[in-house]
Amino acid sequence: MNANAARSADAPSAGWKDKCAAIIPCFNEAAHIQQVVADVRRLLPRVIVVDDGSTDATTERAKLAGAEALWLEKNFGKGAALRAGWQHAGELGFEWVLMLDGDGQHSAEDVPGFLACAETTGAKLVVGNRMGNARKIPPLRRFVNRWMSRRLSRLTGATLPDSQCGFRLARLETLRRLRVQANRFEIESDMLVAFLAAGHTVRFVPVQTIYRSRATKIHPLADTLRWFRWWRRQRKRGTGGILLAPAAPANL
């Protein structure tokens, strides 16, 4: 266990267990979802898995681990799956949502760091930052992430070290009032721009960098072209000039 993991392993305060639900959008993650759910439920008992049209046993294994599972009839995309999870969490009365992937890329050991950051800074959106150990990210994905992060930083006037990390904590009421409409992997960028354009504080916290040697769900050509179309729309709207709060201290 590294220093970040050891620091974050403390249990969250009791209040978070009642007001925060974990949302895990996933597609064909039967090999990993059961362990991911079990790890998260040790900290946040309510886990909502949104199965984005899987053809394997993702839903069944999520339920075995104690998650509530929503199954979408076809693969609508990560953004659409997240919005379905937000809607359901709101109907259940939760105030916050913790978002993470179902493939094991995100460690539950880092969850308390998100909660502590929200408590101490008042941020409505807290985003994981893997760049403290960027060499563990596959070279092409590291390059694309940094390239996109630089462009989004210029667009918003903010410093966004890891704009594509899907490990996030958000105030649900705020999130659902914003215009976050992307259906697929551009959802991470769309969410950041929406929070900043509305004047909300965004913070980044260090998280572990975990990658497994298997195929990504991202389609390099199709998803990159989709992101470019999204980016051009944002530039036309003129969302620049928004100042981000200083980065969260490394000891959170």
Report all structural domains of the chain as residue ranges with CATH numbers, in order of start.
3-237 (3.90.550.10)
The mean pLDDT value for 163-175 works out to: 95
**What's the pTM value of the predicted model, to 2 decimals?**
0.83
**pLDDT (tens digit, 9 = 90+) per residue, 205-252?**
999 988 765 555 556 556 667 766 766 777 666 544 443 444 333 333
pLDDT, greater one: 213 or 180: 180
In the predicted model, is pLDDT for residue 118 greater than 60? yes
* pLDDT given at position 251: 33
Give the CA angle between residues 37, 43, 46 to the nearest 5°: 60
Q: How far is CA 198 from CA 115, 152, 202, in A?
A: 22, 15, 11
* pLDDT given at position 40: 98
* pLDDT given at position 151: 85
Q: What is the rounded distance in angstroms from the CA atom of residue 123 to the CA atom of residue 119?
A: 8
Instruction: Output DSSP code: residue 51.
Output: E
